[in-house]
Structure 1
Amino acid sequence: MGATPVEGGVEFAVFSRNGERVDVCLFDEAGEREIARLPLPRRSGDIHHGFLPGAGPGLRYGLRAKGPFRPESGHRFDAAKLLVDPYARRIDRPFHWDPILAAYGTETVHLVPRSIVTVAEPDLTRRGRETTPAFIYELSVKSFTMRHPAIPEGLRGTLAALSEQKVIDHLQHLGISHVELMPITAWMDERHLPPLGLSNAWGYNPLNFFAPEPRLAPGGEADLRALCIRYAQAGIGVILDIVLNHTAESDEFGATICLRGLDNAVYYRHATDDPGRLINDTGCGNTLALDRAPVVQMAMDSLRHWRACGVAGFRFDLGTVLGRTETGFSADAPLFAAILQDPDLANALLIAEPWDIGPGGYRLGEFPAPFAEWNGRYRDDVRRFWRGDPGAAGALATRLAGSSDLYAAGHRGPQASINFIAAHDGFTLSDLVSYAGKHNRANGENNRDGDNDGHSWNCGIEGPSGAPAIAARRANDVRALLATLFLSRGTPMLQAGDELGRTQSGNNNAYTQDNKEFWLDWERADGELIAYVAKLAEVRRQHGILGADTFLTGQPNPNGARPDVTWLRADGHALSDGDWHSLDALGILLAEENEAMLILINRHSGAAEFVLPDAAEGKGWRRVLNSSEPKADEELVGGRLTVFSRSVSLLIESSAA
């Protein structure tokens, strides 16, 4: 599919079931002047194809499709619209919204990027099952690099900037195993943003699933390939956040620029009782019909393409759409079946955002193995506990133990749970403890956009505060949240910038904020917080009991050894069922054959004294982590330990001095 260089020329192949004719429009070397328009002369089933002799890599071209314009039947062909090849692996300029793109019969050649014929590069796919992530770091290429003082200005905002040694040093210092790049495929602003002077900063609005965004990758896929090679040498895997659920062509008032112009009725899902009405399970105006063969093929070809560029795997935005059919969500949906039978993709890292906004869209825990999932329940339950919600301790324990309520039935272990407290979509970690509600007026929607219940709180007063006491309380809460994340079973994920103390001034939906105020401020980075996150990751690496892929059960051990977990009150006694509702302080004793550790959690506004359980013969308890005093020296602890207000301590069992 697409344009393929072969001996003597270029083969073109384009899908259009309902189209009558597909033309290839050729442009000069600068991509400015159309020099020829050639109909694809042959058709095999739904594939229009032909051979262009004498052509080769670097050729700039576009497509046009002739067919019926009957919106009430789902058909929106418009030969006046220049179309980007959905299989183009490179485009020559970014997409920009213009109302003309949605006006039937109006020429758009001056607005649409040109597709570029590219030569096939060597396959960089890493064979065999990918290594399970130990620590995922989610980042936006532009936000991460635009204000980094060690990155040359000419590289800032690009994939190449991420290869700078200072960036890699930071990732390695933190102990990152995998970087999860927010979308890098070519995207376009939502149509309401340009009139407001805003632009899409996140990239979750794609128009092509093969071509990198030219602003992020001026060198095309070569830039991603170079990054994957560089990171592999540094021991870091690259995960792509990929958007296969919708396109920027949006609803019936949106653009005709790619799939809509080639076969709107096939590529997008329409209401069964109203073929002209687009299904909007994504909230973005349209939904890809990923249960239809040509759409499944396009998705699979896209995933294989990115794997060949060297990526370790994928995070699927609004992943429920991947499993949707005409009858709803199914773990046996065609795209899942295609991925899981593929000898390479089945071994890649597969991470689903397990929800969309359609009927029955929240499917956390229901994706087939080996998919992992963003665990939104983990995020909410941890936030609710530390906010002080009554009865939240029991839910916290379930999340600390690996979320067996979500994954055990599908025979998946804790590593299926991607644990996070903050991500791109929501408050930053610093804002989570500084704002009781969202402050999104800068987004131009009167504060209506974004999550209305982020389970956030403010320590002292709402918003920024110069008061040292309030700043200290907020920093204390952030450290306690981070300790909870790294001491939980499952796979921890951190949003880039949270280790710097990043703020978005309470904006919990900052996709419209592509500006200096929202790019990471490296000059004001909190060095102590960076060191604290690095220490948490190191503790987790050193103690395999924290990352084990088995659920904690608390069942008695038949050989008389300790259970894998014992839940304790502050007085040292085991928790009973009646203790959980009003619990503010608890201990978690973890035990394996050769290792034991004790996690002490206190969300009280005052200190709590814990009675420590007996250590094994010849051993004692040694504190290795204290979230309220992260720089405190390690110490040997006797039979009792005071844990300060709203903090977490970690003790390991070690040989007595």
Structure 2
Amino acid sequence: MTQSVLLPSRVSREFPLGLHAIEKGRATHVNAAVWAPGIASMDVHWRRPDGTWTSDTLVGLDGGVHHGVVGPVDQGALYAFWPTGEELPGAPGETQLLLDPYSRALETIVTDAASPSYYSVFLEHAFDWGTSERPGTAWRDTVIYEAHVKGLTKLHPEVPRELRGTYAGLAHPAMVSYLRELGVTAVELLPIQFHIDEPHLAPLGLSNYWGYNTLGFFSAHTSYATEAARAAGPAAVLTEFKDMVRALHEAGLEVILDVVYNHTAEGDQGRPALSWRGLGDFDYYRNHDGRYVDTTGCGNSLDFSRPHVMEFALDSLRYWVEECRIDGFRFDLAVTMARDEHNAFSTRHPFLVAAKASKALRGTKLITEPWDLGHDGWQTGRFPVGWADWNDGFRDTVRDFWLHDAATVADGGSGTSIGRLAGCLSGSSHAFAASGRSPLGSVNFVTAHDGFTLADLTAYERKHNEDNGEDNRDGHDHNHSYNHGVEGPTDDPRILAAREQSARNLMASLLISLGVPMLTAGDEFGRTQRGNNNAYCQDNETAWVHWPDDDAARRMLETTRALLAIRRDFLSRQPCSFPSRADQSTLLWFSGAGLPMTAHEWEDPKATTLQFLLGSVGGSVSGLVVINGSAVPAPVRFPASDLVQGKGDRSEQHRSFSLVFDSAVAGTPCPGGRVRPGDVETLVPNSLRIYRY
């Protein structure tokens, strides 16, 4: 390896971090900068076009940032850092040096060593966005579709085989058309930042399918690109990713990334350094007296009480927004990112403030997974205004009402208060109002990538994770599910019908609730993982989305599309704040007798029938939702005309309720079944109806 000569006439700068060209051309001199405050001097090593390696010492040092002008460096060149004067662990290109935390691409090099080595790639990327623009969908109109880039199209019969499981596959017209026709507005992608497998998976023949083990926070994951793009190099991979974003934007669909800034792929303290651990172990990772403080369960936690760690995460977010036009982010274990120098959660944490105040991030959707594994780690509803939280309380309550309670009642017990369900359907003010937030701060979901699918919630009461290689110890044990009498697959038509009805109840509850709904890919037609509720390591047909064409799948898909259309109709003007006591026009609640709910009825565990009128900001009533959560038929009297506010401009004699959805019906019923205020209708057990008013 040769040592190049640093050009003294060129002045380097300590920012921006990473490698950035200071002149145009394929081979160019670059400004190299890396934060490593505990290291006296730093070298950068890079590969020349002929395959040989050379290096320069970064002569500048300001505020812990080593910087220097080096080169010429070719576009696509591999590079890495190593402390000056320290013995190399082996020849560059054959052993692991220290990655640039800011590298725009990573390359994996497999040698005869026990594990692969990773190298940063110098990449400056131009892309023609044409006339495409970000959709800018308002929160009140947003419907999120959580999906995995590979798993979504790997088995899709209408996507060309060479594109399946790739960025290009997601951008294919068949996939884009499907999403538009379904009625969602945003695709939330499980991690697409470059990630690697945890060491314990390889001996089991498994891999980290979900991708929550990030190594490159500025790099698109290479294996999600087509074989042709991978062969053409990192620039082609990034082009394919941006092509996907552009195609989705042109279809009016936003792109939200699931991002993991709470920990890195370096894992436990004793494992080898890949980047941050070698650049400044205790400068990047939270520790106490030299031992890691782990709030993530992944072996390490980035210390967001340190300004440079916050800067690193913010720079990464800005890159994805400015360079890749991403519309929003879902932050994995977000509480870790809001822990202060005392390891305590703070709603005024500088990172939360800076992300919301950033001009570059203005208008992006910021969504938290509002918990971690540390002390006081559950913070649902407590993040500040401007952030939205995954609402696990909504998930558990809706599951309890339609599934767990049904199982309990079947065994002779009693269910929970219907007031819990109403609170969630109306935006979970009990969780969000105290922090000054609105129903739009609640991302409602019944399922997510983590846990049972919607179909499996109705078919399994126990997890079945044996294929994960951990003797079924992993995954949640309490799933609020109900198998309807048989664990797993069955041919019993009665049980199958009951499961389908429960799935429709769950989907309807999600899509008529105030807040922002999130669907999990495949739930719209009954995808199963055969009872695996922790498929993070199942890069196979267990976790990939199947695209069935059987009657049950068609019925569920038809139901989901109909409910999404109803949501657009009834909730397109849902309120952006919780109603005051003086204005309760947006939601009006009635008992099965058609009278306003009393305090006793809200808390009565035997009260399982409920009606509520959905209104709009203007005060006019859009629809009536009627719920029978009991195991027996229930007569329901519709509210009288004088109890219904916001009558609109129709005369009273023409005012009626018209049925548009009935969860007891397999498939979407034709509109009809008109009833007048004060009339009585009988609902079948465990069912939900929606009427247009």
- Structure 1 residue identity aligned to 2:186: H
Of 202, 217, 240, the residue aligned with 1:209 is 217
Asked whether the 8 Å contact 2:463–2:533 carries over to 1, the reply is: yes
Asked whether the 8 Å contact 2:628–2:634 carries over to 1, the reply is: yes
Shift, 1:201, TM fit: 0.7
Asked whether 1:225 is paired with 2:247, we answer no
Shift, 1:345, TM fit: 1.4
Equivalent pairs counted in the alignment come to 624
Asked whether the 8 Å contact 1:270–1:279 carries over to 2, the reply is: yes
Q: What is the percent sequence identity of the aligned residues? A: 37
- Quote the Cα distance in structure 2 between the aligned partners of 1:130 and 1:523: 31
Asked whether the 8 Å contact 1:60–1:115 carries over to 2, the reply is: yes
Residue matched to 1:338: 354
Runs of at least 5 residues in structure 2 that lack an aligned partner in the other structure: 1-16, 88-93, 231-235, 409-414, 642-646
Alignment of 1:97-246 (within 5 A): 111-121=116-126, 131-132=138-139, 134-217=142-225, 218=230, 219-246=236-263
Shift, 1:524, TM fit: 4.5
Asked whether 1:402 is paired with 2:427, we answer yes
- TM-score, with structure 1 as normaliser: 0.90
Of 625, 628, 632, the residue aligned with 2:661 is 625
Shift, 1:19, TM fit: 1.4
Asked whether the 8 Å contact 1:320–1:329 carries over to 2, the reply is: yes
- Quote the Cα distance in structure 2 between the aligned partners of 1:95 and 1:520: 30
- Structure 2 residue identity aligned to 1:631: T
Asked whether the 8 Å contact 1:245–1:322 carries over to 2, the reply is: yes
Once the two structures are overlaid, the 10-residue window that deviates more, 615-624 or 186-195, is 615-624
Asked whether the 8 Å contact 1:86–1:259 carries over to 2, the reply is: yes
Residue matched to 2:321: 307
- Quote the Cα distance in structure 2 between the aligned partners of 1:404 and 1:480: 22
- Quote the Cα distance in structure 2 between the aligned partners of 1:253 and 1:566: 58
- Quote the Cα distance in structure 2 between the aligned partners of 1:343 and 1:123: 23
Alignment of 1:276-315 (within 5 A): 277-308=291-322, 309-315=324-330
Cα deviation, 1:338-365, whole Å, max 9, x if unaligned, reads 2122113142110011000000111111
Asked whether the 8 Å contact 1:187–1:204 carries over to 2, the reply is: yes
Residue matched to 2:692: 652
CA 1:591–1:25 in 2, change beyond 3 Å: closer, same or farther? closer
- Structure 1 residue identity aligned to 2:611: G
Shift, 1:178, TM fit: 0.6
- Structure 2 residue identity aligned to 1:632: P
Runs of at least 5 residues in structure 1 that lack an aligned partner in the other structure: 70-78, 102-110
- Quote the Cα distance in structure 1 between the aligned partners of 2:397 and 2:501: 19
Residue matched to 2:5: none
CA 1:67–1:9 in 2, change beyond 3 Å: closer, same or farther? closer
CA 1:130–1:652 in 2, change beyond 3 Å: closer, same or farther? closer
Asked whether the 8 Å contact 1:94–1:213 carries over to 2, the reply is: no
CA 1:550–1:333 in 2, change beyond 3 Å: closer, same or farther? closer
Shift, 1:28, TM fit: 4.5
Once the two structures are overlaid, the 10-residue window that deviates more, 598-607 or 315-324, is 598-607
Shift, 1:609, TM fit: 1.8
Shift, 1:56, TM fit: 3.3
Shift, 1:127, TM fit: 8.4
- Structure 2 residue identity aligned to 1:542: D
Once the two structures are overlaid, the 10-residue window that deviates more, 79-88 or 40-49, is 79-88
Alignment of 1:80-99 (within 5 A): 81-93=96-108
Cα deviation, 1:215-268, whole Å, max 9, x if unaligned, reads 013433322221221111101100011100001111123231111111111011
Asked whether the 8 Å contact 2:46–2:73 carries over to 1, the reply is: no
- Quote the Cα distance in structure 1 between the aligned partners of 2:519 and 2:135: 27
Asked whether the 8 Å contact 2:135–2:254 carries over to 1, the reply is: no
Residue matched to 2:567: 540
CA 1:531–1:416 in 2, change beyond 3 Å: closer, same or farther? same
Alignment of 1:350-499 (within 5 A): 350-387=366-403, 388=405, 390-499=415-524
Cα deviation, 1:399-435, whole Å, max 9, x if unaligned, reads 0111111111222110110000000011100011111
Shift, 1:581, TM fit: 2.1
Of 632, 652, 655, the residue aligned with 1:606 is 632
- Structure 1 residue identity aligned to 2:393: R
Cα deviation, 1:532-557, whole Å, max 9, x if unaligned, reads 1111111111123773323356x466
Shift, 1:40, TM fit: 2.1
Residue matched to 1:106: none
CA 1:153–1:123 in 2, change beyond 3 Å: closer, same or farther? closer
Shift, 1:122, TM fit: 6.0
- TM-score, with structure 2 as normaliser: 0.86
CA 1:571–1:426 in 2, change beyond 3 Å: closer, same or farther? same
Of 34, 39, 51, the residue aligned with 2:57 is 39
- Quote the Cα distance in structure 1 between the aligned partners of 2:535 and 2:84: 39
Shift, 1:26, TM fit: 1.8
